A and B are shown apart, each in its own frame.
Chain A
Amino acid sequence: DAGVIQSPRHEVTEMGQEVTLRCKPISGHDYLFWYRQTMMRGLELLIYFNNNVPIDDSGMPEDRFSAKMPNASFSTLKIQPSEPRDSAVYFCASSRPSTGRDEQYFGPGTRLTVT
């Protein structure tokens, strides 16, 4: 299996620009998670989906952040407009707890730098 795929791996953008991060979960997984990791705040859950439906978005920091999952094999996290404090590593993870296996499989992350 190819694992969770994220793109781009690195993104550098200027404040005010729109940023779109992409994720392809492992085939057959029905849960998808977006996390943000910073030195100051550690690993934070932003939002997660089950069967393409958002279940909990309480971790999304503000309205500038939005996430979609149009189908079982693709999800996006968009920041518009971006700000320097959004600089972080963003991880996507997927799981298939319907089989009784709760572990999440993480992608390699997208390192976002907003200048």
Chain B
Amino acid sequence: AQSVTQLGSHVSVSEGALVLLRCNYSSSVPPYLFWYVQYPNQGLQLLLKYTSAATLVKGINGFEAEFKKSETSFHLTKPSAHMSDAAEYFCAVSPSGSQGNLIFGKGTKLSVKP
């Protein structure tokens, strides 16, 4: 069965520092992978997705993620954190690769200190 593991339920960084949110997946077939962001009192919003076209995926708000098959990882990074990045981030995998439901990780709450 496919699954997603997000290491660290809470991550705190200083404004301007590197953001690194970790996601590891298990999948028996090439997966589709996603990162979503949830701001307080809002629904989830797609940040970026990987569908095998390129291993480095750029998303909105300066975020990017790199697919590493050998490490079964899809970590999310941003070179310089901004206060507005404070939110909860979810990694997700598509079980079938092309349709159907997504399996979400438990989420990582990012805090940004001034």
A102 partner, pick from B44, B49, B106, beta carbons under 8 A: B49
State whether A103 touches B46 (Cβ < 8 A): yes
- The yes or no answer to A42 lying at the interface (CB within 8 A) is yes
Interface size range on B against A: 20 to 34
State whether B94 touches A102 (Cβ < 8 A): yes
Q: Which of A14-22, A64-72, A79-87, A104-112 makes up part of the contact surface?
A: A104-112
- The yes or no answer to B2 lying at the interface (CB within 8 A) is no
Per the bound structure, the CA–CA distance linking A31 and B42 in Å amounts to: 21
State whether B42 touches A102 (Cβ < 8 A): no
Per the bound structure, the CA–CA distance linking A74 and B112 in Å amounts to: 39
Q: How many A-B residue pairs have CB under 8 A?
A: 54
Which residues of A have CB within 8 Å of B100? Answer: 31, 48, 50, 55, 97, 102
Which residues of B have CB within 8 Å of A45? Answer: 101, 104
- The yes or no answer to B74 lying at the interface (CB within 8 A) is no
Which residues of B have CB within 8 Å of A104? Answer: 44, 46, 102
State whether B43 touches A43 (Cβ < 8 A): no
State whether A43 touches B107 (Cβ < 8 A): yes
State whether B42 touches A91 (Cβ < 8 A): no
State whether B99 touches A43 (Cβ < 8 A): no
The contact string, 1 if C-beta is below 8 Å from chain A, for chain B 29-71, is 0001010100000111110010100000000000000000000
- The yes or no answer to B98 lying at the interface (CB within 8 A) is yes
Per the bound structure, the CA–CA distance linking A85 and B49 in Å amounts to: 34
* Interface of B toward A, CB cutoff 8 Å: 32, 34, 36, 42-46, 49, 51, 90, 94, 98-102, 104, 106-107
A-B contact pairs, 17 of them (CB 8 A): A31-B100, A33-B101, A43-B44, A43-B106, A48-B101, A55-B100, A91-B43, A97-B100, A102-B32, A102-B34, A102-B49, A102-B51, A102-B98, A102-B100, A103-B49, A104-B102, A109-B43
